[in-house]
Amino acid sequence: MPLNCGIVGLPNVGKSTIFNALTSAEAQAANYPFCTIDPNVGIVPVPDERMDRIVSMVKPHSIVPTTMEFVDIAGIVEGASKGEGLGNQFLSHIRQTDAILHVVRCFADPEVIHVAGSVNPLHDIDVINTELLLADMETVEKRKTKAEKAAKGQNATAAQKTEYAVIEKLLEVLNAGKPARVADLSADEKLIARDLFLITMKPMLYVANVDEAGIANGNDLTAHVERRAAEEGSEVVRICGAMESEIAQLEPGERKEFLAEMGLQEPGLNRLIHAAYRLLGLITYFTSGVQEVRAWTIKRGTKAPGAAGVIHSDFERGFIKADCYACEDLFRLGSEHAVKEAGLLKSEGKEYVVKDGDILFFKFNV
Ligand X SMILES: Nc1nc2c(ncn2[C@@H]2O[C@H](COP(=O)(O)OP(=O)(O)OP(=O)(O)O)[C@@H](O)[C@H]2O)c(=O)[nH]1
Site for ligand X in 238-257 (CB under 6 A): 240-242
**Least separation, in Å, of the C-beta of 19 and Mg ion?**
7
24: which strand partners?
none
Residue 273: Cβ within 10 Å count = 22
CB of 29 to Mg ion, least distance (A): 6
> What mask of x and - would describe binding to ligand X in positions 310 to 339, judged by CB under 6 A?
------------------------------
CB 16, min distance to Mg ion, A: 3
Under rule CB under 6 A, residue 159 binds ligand X: no
The answer to the question of residue 20 lying near Mg ion (CB under 5 A) is no
On whether the CB atoms of residues 252 and 325 are closer than 8 A, the answer is no
Choose the contact partner of 240 out of Mg ion, ligand X, none; CB within 5 to 8 A by kind.
ligand X
Q: Which residue, 99, 92, 131, is CA-closest to 11?
A: 131
Q: Does 81 engage in binding with ligand X (CB under 6 A)?
A: no
The answer to whether 30 contacts ligand X (rule: CB under 6 A) is yes
In the bound state, the residue with its beta carbon closest to ligand X is: 75
DSSP letter assigned to residue 272? H
Radius of gyration of the chain (CA): 23
Interaction between residue 297 and ligand X (CB under 6 A): no
Check residue 34 for interaction with ligand X (CB under 6 A): yes
DSSP state at residue 267 = -
Q: Residues in contact with ligand X, total (CB under 6 A)?
A: 25
Please count the CA atoms within 13 angstroms of the CA of 316 that sit on its side-chain side: 11
6 is a site residue for ligand X (CB under 6 A) = no
Mask: binding to Mg ion, 23-52, rule CB under 5 A, as x and -? ------------xx----------------
What does 39 interact with, of ligand X, Mg ion, none (CB < 5 to 8 A by kind)? none
Instruction: Please answer whether residues 99 and 276 qualify as being in contact, where contact means their C-beta atoms are separated by less than 8 angstroms.
Output: yes
Interaction between residue 16 and ligand X (CB under 6 A) = yes
3-state secondary structure of 303: strand
CB 162 within 8 A of CB 192: yes
Is 75 a binder of ligand X (CB under 6 A)?
Answer: yes
The smaller minimum CB distance to Mg ion, of residues 80 and 192, is found at 80
DSSP string, 9-48: -STTSSHHHHHHHHHT------SSTT---SPEEEEEE---
The candidate with the shortest Cα–Cα distance to 75, out of 10, 6, 7, is 10
Decide if 213 contacts 243 (C-beta within 8 A): no
**Should residue 13 be labelled a site residue for ligand X when binding is judged by CB under 6 A?**
yes
Site for ligand X (CB under 6 A): which residue of 5, 6, 22, 107? 107
Query: Cα separations (Å) of 191 from 59, 134, 357?
Result: 44, 22, 29
Q: Which of 83, 88, 177, 94 is nearest to 133 (CA)?
A: 177
Examine residue 16 and tell whether it contacts Mg ion (CB under 5 A).
Answer: yes
Which of residues 13 and 199 has its CB atom nearest to ligand X in the complex? 13
CA distances from 239 to 41, 53, 304 (A): 20, 27, 36
Question: Interface with ligand X includes 29 (CB under 6 A)?
Answer: yes
* Of residues 116 and 150, the one with the C-beta less far from ligand X: 116
Rule CB under 5 A: which residues touch Mg ion?
Answer: 15-16, 35-36
Rule CB under 6 A: which residues touch ligand X?
Answer: 9, 11-17, 29-31, 33-36, 74-75, 107, 109, 112, 209, 211, 240-242
